[in-house]
């Protein structure tokens, strides 16, 4: 599976249950939500340098596990899934 998302200003990643994840991309003109199951992990590859304005990770036991990243400027990403979610800047 491969998906390309353009003009992303923020990425919201949530572990919805066990090994299920939802990724939400806040783009210039729309939001894109992708759901994944049986995820081993998430990897980021910055082929194009990226700057984060802010990032927040919450891994507390009794709270939803989330990872938010807000970009300094809009970025384009290729999202692939092969057991692992790979976010690659392009």
Task: Answer whether 78's CB lies under 8 Å from 4's CB.
Answer: yes
- Token pair 């082929």 is found at 47
Nearest residue to 39 (alpha-carbon basis) of 67, 64, 17: 17
Q: Looking at residue 21, what is its pLDDT?
A: 94
Q: What is the mean pLDDT of the chain?
A: 93
Which one, of 36, 45, 32, lies nearest residue 15 by Cα? 36
Average pLDDT in the 35-53 region? 92
Cα-based distances in Å from 84 to 9, 18, 20, 40 = 23, 14, 11, 5
Global confidence as pTM: 0.89
């Amino acid at each position: 599976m491969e998906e390309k998302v353009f003009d992303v200003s923020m990425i919201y990643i949530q572990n919805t249950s066990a090994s299920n994840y939802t990724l939400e991309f806040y783009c210039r003109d729309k939001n894109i939500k992708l759901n994944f199951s049986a995820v081993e992990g998430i990897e980021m590859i910055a082929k194009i340098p990226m700057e984060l304005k802010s990032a927040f990770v919450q891994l507390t036991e009794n709270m939803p596990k989330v990872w938010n990243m807000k970009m300094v400027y809009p970025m384009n990403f290729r999202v692939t899934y092969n057991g692992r979610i790979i976010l690659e800047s392009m």
